[in-house]
Amino acid sequence: MAGASLLVLLDDIAAILDDVAVLTKVAAKKTAGVLGDDLALNAQQVSGVRAERELPVVWAVCVGSLKNKLILVPAALAISAFIPWAVTPLLMLGGIYLCLEGVEKLAHPWLHSDAEDSAHHAEELAAVADETVDLEAFEADKIKGAIRTDFVLSAEIIVIALGTVAGQPFSTQVTVLAGIGLIMTVGVYGIVAAIVKMDDVGAWLLENGRGFMKVIGKGLLLAAPKLMKTLTIVGTAAMFLVGGGILSHGIPPVHHGIEHLADMAGMMSPVVSMALDALVGMVCGAIALLGMLAFAATRKKLAGAKA
């Protein structure tokens, strides 16, 4: 009996591990849409510091990201345990936020002038070049900003992952959320570190390499800015796909309508479904942005009236 019980226990453990593996893959797939933007944002956040300080800054932000996960994962588990009905509204809020951020990126040229962007960039470059600037304070400010950005993006990832495992046993939820949090942190900041040092590696190979190594160095130098631009584009598209998908699934009539139209497309069904999810994301993001702009304008007008 003891042997049989042990086998049953081992079988149960194997089943749980298998479930965890499958659910982790599903959660990772769903949260991957956030990663393109996550990578681009974090790589941009740590830009503007001196070359020799880039990796220490990335490491500091990575540690801050892990601390964020230590707050977010228990909070997500508590929500799942005590107020599970809140999972769907939180997912919807996360979806709206993603879509809003995507529309803001598309609308950036109209919301902010080139002069403002150029002035901000010039200010950063001047701060790095100026020997009298307190670099520790400058870096600390960069790190705080990156960690705040990470907190929002990490919250999106954890909430999306929670939606995937909401109906699973507590032990499975803990394992999947902790695994997703760790994998995403290590993966994102490992790639961010590689991106921010890509041009330095390219320059070193171009200067010190021979033959084919010089070609690789030149290729890295040329690829670094293009990679950043590509990540930003892919990340923005992913925001609409993931955010729109969350919102359409949360509104049954919209979800059924998309399913019906996708079924009519035959072999193109997956493409049509993604395109319609992205369209939902764009529309919802545009509505959210208009609401925010209207609120800001009203608040400014009221403040002017009081003055």
Q: How far apart are CA 38 and CA 235, in angstroms?
A: 7
C-alpha distances out from residue 163 to 38, 76, 143, 171, Å: 20, 10, 30, 15
Q: Tell me which amino acid residue 233 is.
A: I
Mean pLDDT of 19-42: 50
Give me the chain's average pLDDT, please. Answer: 74
pLDDT band for position 284 (cuts 50, 70, 90): very high
200-249: pLDDT as tens digits: 788 788 778 777 888 888 888 788 777 767 767 777 787 788 788 888 98
pLDDT band for position 11 (cuts 50, 70, 90): very low
Tally Cβ neighbours within 10 Å of residue 14: 10
Residue 120 has pLDDT above 80, yes or no: no
- Reported as type and span, the H/E element at residue 189 is helix 170-208
183-205: pLDDT as tens digits: 878 877 787 777 777 777 887 88
Enumerate residues 6+ apart whose C-beta is below 8 A from 242.
30, 33, 34, 95, 98, 160, 281
Model pTM score: 0.66
Residue 10 has pLDDT above 60, yes or no: no
Burial of 161 (0-12, 13-18, 19+ CB in 10 A): buried
Q: Which residue has the tokens 């965890």?
A: 20
Mean pLDDT of 39-58: 59
Mean pLDDT of 54-61: 77
pLDDT band for position 106 (cuts 50, 70, 90): confident
Q: How far apart are CA 93 and CA 109, in angstroms?
A: 26
Do the Cβ atoms of 156 and 98 come closer than 8 Å?
yes
C-alpha distances out from residue 91 to 32, 59, 128, 287, Å: 15, 29, 40, 18
Q: Tell me which amino acid residue 265 is.
A: A
